[in-house]
Amino acid sequence: MKIRLAEPYIDEKIKRKILDVIDSKHYVEGRYTREFEEKFSGYIGVRYSIAVSSGTSSLLLILRALDIGPGDKVAVPDFTFIATLSQGVLLGAKPVLIDVDYETMCMDPDDLKKKMDYKVKAVIPVHLFGHPAPMDEILEIAKEYGAYVIEDAAQAHGAKYKGRYVGGIGDVGYFSLYPSKNMGVYGEGGIITTNDEEIARRVRRLKNHGVEDGEIKEFGYNMKFNEINAVVALETLKYLPEWNERRRRNAELYREYLSGIDIRLPTQREYAYHVYNLYTIKTGRRDELAKELKKEGIGYGIYYDKPLHKLEIVKELIGEKSLPVSDKLSREVISLPVHPFLSQSDIEKVSKVVKKVHS
Ligand SMILES: Cc1ncc(COP(=O)(O)O)c(C=O)c1O
C-alpha cells in the first residue's frame, strides 16, 4: 500500500520511554497511567478520566456502572460500529435503533424523539468519523425521559461541540485508543471521561475485580490499563491538537480538489469542530472507486457496509426494522486517507483517482 488509510506514530523518544518502563519492572496501572488520566481530564475538561483496556470495555464498564440490564432499553444510532450496540445487549438490555442524519451521519434527534420511552435508560450518541452529534437536542430528549447520555467518542478525540470537547458533555463519555484513532497506543486501550464522582468510582472498581479500598465490593472485570501504553498515550496526547489541525487541513485540500464532481463531501455543521478520523464521502460509484483505489495502492475503508438493523443477530433480537437513511449511507459511503502524516501530493493523488472515476 503506497498511501495507507491510517498510520501509527513512531519515534525514538517513545521507544526510549517504553524501554524505561520495561526497566522499571512496573507494568500495570502505575504512575504513567495516573499521569495520563490527569492530563486527559485536563484536555477534555472533566473531573475524572479512567484508562481501561479498550473502547469496548469502556462502554461495558459504563453500562454496568449505570446498572443497565434486563428490562432496560438502550438507544443507539443504526449507523455505527457493532461495539456501540453489543455491550448493552450482552448485559440483557434491548437495543432501540435510531436513524441518522444523512449529512453528518450522526444520530437524528427527530427519530430519537419518536422512539423514546421511559424504559430507555441510556442514549448513546456516536461522534461518527470525528463529527460531533447534535448534543443539545439529544440531551434535552434524554432529560425528559430520565435517561443517561453516554457519548461514544471512540472516533472523535479533540472534536468540539459548540466549543466544548466531546466526551465532557453527556453524563459520561469514552474514547478508543486503538492505533488508527486520532490518538492511540501500540495495541488496545480506552479511556472513560465524566464529571460524575459516583460513575467514576464504580468504573474504577469494576475494571479491577470490584476492588475498592482493598476490599472486593462487587463482581468485576480485569480491564486495567498498562504502563507501556500509558507512556505512548502521554506522547500521542501531546501531538493530538496539531494532528487534528493537519487532518482538518487535509480535509480542506480534498474540498478544494474534489469540488464540482458528483459525490457528497463530509459536512461540518456550524456548531462543530470536526476532527476527521476518516474522510467519508458518499458516491453512487463506490465499487468502481474501490477498485481503482486498490489498483493505485491507496488504502480505503467501507464503514459501514451493513447498518446494524441488517445484521442477522440484530434481526433475531428485535425483528425487521426500517431505517432508510442508514440504509442509503451503507450503500454509498467510502472513507479516504486523511491522517496527519499525508503530504499535499498524497491528497492530490487520491483526489485524482476519485475524479477519474467520477468524470
Ligand atoms: C464508534 C465506535 N465505538 C466503539 C469502538 C470500540 O473501540 P475499541 O476498538 O477500542 O474497543 C469503536 C472502535 O473502532 C468505534 O469506532
Q: How far is the CA of 358 from the centre of ligand 1 (A)?
A: 32
- In this structure, the residue with its CA closest to atom 12 of ligand 1 is 154
The mean pLDDT of 34-47, rounded to a whole number, is 98
Q: Please report which confidence band the pLDDT of residue 296 belongs to, taking 50, 70 and 90 as the band edges.
A: very high
Give CA–CA dist 221/210, Å, rounded: 7
Note the pLDDT of residue 69.
Answer: 98
The phi and psi torsions of 256 (rounded to 5 degrees) equal -70, -50
Surface-to-core class of residue 242, CB atoms within 10 Å of its CB (0-12 exposed, 13-18 middle, 19+ buried): exposed
Average pLDDT of span 22-30: 97
The answer, yes or no, to whether residue 324 has pLDDT greater than 80, is yes
What whole-number distance in Å separates Cα of residue 352 and Cα of residue 358? 10
Q: How confident is the model at residue 278 (pLDDT cuts 50, 70, 90)?
A: very high
Measured CA angle at 179 (ends 178, 181), to 5 deg: 70
pLDDT in tens, 65-76: 999 999 999 999
| Nearest atom within ligand 1 for CA of residue 56 | 11
Copy the grid coordinates of residue 314: 440484530
Q: Provide mean pLDDT across the span 344-350.
A: 98
- The model's confidence at residue 335, banded by pLDDT at 50, 70 and 90, is very high
Say which residues have a Cβ less than 8 Å from residue 6's Cβ, sequence separation at least 6: 179, 180, 299, 337, 339
Q: What is the mean pLDDT of the chain?
A: 98
Q: Any idea of the CA torsion for 328, 58, 222, 317, to the nearest 10 degrees?
A: -40
pLDDT above 90: residue 92:
yes
Residues above pLDDT 90, as percent of the chain? 99
- Closest-CA residue, ligand 1 atom 7, reads 55
Give the pLDDT mean for 326-335: 98
Residue 208: pLDDT band (50, 70, 90) is very high
Atom 9 in ligand 1: residue holding the nearest Cα: 55
Distances (CA, A) of 154 to 4, 40, 55, 57: 20, 14, 6, 12
Write down the pLDDT at residue 175: 99
Task: State the burial class of residue 4 (Cβ atoms within 10 Å of its Cβ: 0-12, 13-18, 19+).
Answer: middle
- CA 60 – ligand 1 centroid, Å: 12
331 Cα: distance to centroid of ligand 1 (angstroms): 21
In the prediction, which pLDDT does 76 show? 98
Compute, in angstroms, the gap from residue 147 CA to the centroid of ligand 1: 22
Residue 191 alpha carbon to ligand 1 centre in Å: 11
Q: Is the pLDDT of residue 1 over 80?
A: no
CA of 156 to the centre of ligand 1 (A): 11
pLDDT digits (tens, 9 = 90+) for 96-121: 999 999 999 999 999 999 999 999 99
What φ, ψ does residue 322 adopt, rounded to 5°? -115, 115
Q: What percent of the chain has pLDDT over 70?
A: 100
**Burial letters 213-229, b for 16+ CB under 10 A, else e:** eeeeeeebbebebbbbb
Give residue ranges with CB within 6 A of ligand 1: 54-56, 80-81, 83-84, 126, 152, 154-155, 176, 178, 188, 190
Q: Which of 76, 80, 178, 185 to mutate to test the pocket of ligand 1 (most atoms within 8 A of CB)?
A: 178
Q: Give the mutation target among 53, 54, 56 for probing the ligand 1 site: most ligand atoms within 8 A of CB.
A: 56
Residue 8 — pLDDT band, cuts 50, 70, 90? very high
**What is the average per-residue pLDDT within 23-29?**
97
Pick the atom of ligand 1 nearest to 128's CA: 1
Give the model's pLDDT for residue 288.
98
Question: Which of 60, 176, 180, 207 has most ligand 1 atoms within 8 Å of its beta carbon, as the pocket-test mutant?
Answer: 176
Give the distance (Å) from ligand 1 centre to CA of residue 192.
13
